[in-house]
Structure 1
């Protein structure tokens, strides 16, 4: 979140995992304006949510490269989650953090694990607990 000035509302920083025009997964940041509510409790406009799902992954969990089936918010409830990209970069998300996963397979493409997607893994000794919210 940002610190507002008298003329600008605060924002919620949304980390987005997305599929770029070259078919590769990348991260970018977007801002969601918290321009509703009252000064003591700023709100965003309502965001769509269709369903939610909980997951627990034990220590040692690691996926293969894959794409997100459908866009979804991923909230880390406990533990730590690392997301790795094809370019060798990765980011670790800890309890209380989130990202929006929109790394879907490009329309008409056949999945190629050397080009598409990302991998995820549990980090540390604590099981990873996540909440997925699909819009």
Structure 2
């Protein structure tokens, strides 16, 4: 069976953001066009971030897909892990703050920054 890799940024049981990977089965379509099953989506938001963009540590407010359309986006975790995503790459951001927990600047969230000299253009799709 053909699959796509789903990179997931999530909040682990200890409150720290981590990456994990799962497979999305492309079980529909035909030999020329393999398709996943339909996934629900709430909306689409586009973002342009200028050269030099960098965010503070934060959590995702609601789980969403992030697709990089232009530029290179680096995601940093509290443990020093980083991953870079370039044009055509994507990940599922689900590192939400656990219910009833206040944001702890030493534990929660991820940061992001633009690598390179072109503005970063991304598309967010909430499910």
TM-score relative to the length of structure 1: 0.93
For 1:105 and 1:96, locate their aligned partners in 2 and report how far apart those are by CA, in whole Å.
Answer: 28
What corresponds to 2:106 in structure 1? 114
Once the two structures are superposed, the pairs formed by residues 60-99 of structure 1 within 5 Å of their partners are 60-99=52-91
What corresponds to 1:3 in structure 2? none
User: What stretches of structure 1 of length at least 5 have no aligned partner?
Assistant: 1-8
What corresponds to 1:55 in structure 2? 47
The number of aligned residues is: 127
Name segments (4+ residues, structure 1) moved above 6 Å.
none
Aligned equivalent of 2:122, options 118, 130, 133: 130
Aligned equivalent of 2:10, options 11, 18, 22: 18
User: What stretches of structure 2 of length at least 5 have no aligned partner?
Assistant: none
Matched, 1:45 2:37: yes
Residue deviations 1:57-111 (CA, integer Å, cap 9, x gap) = 0111100000000000000000010000000111110011000000000111100
Larger-Rg structure: 1
TM-score relative to the length of structure 2: 0.99
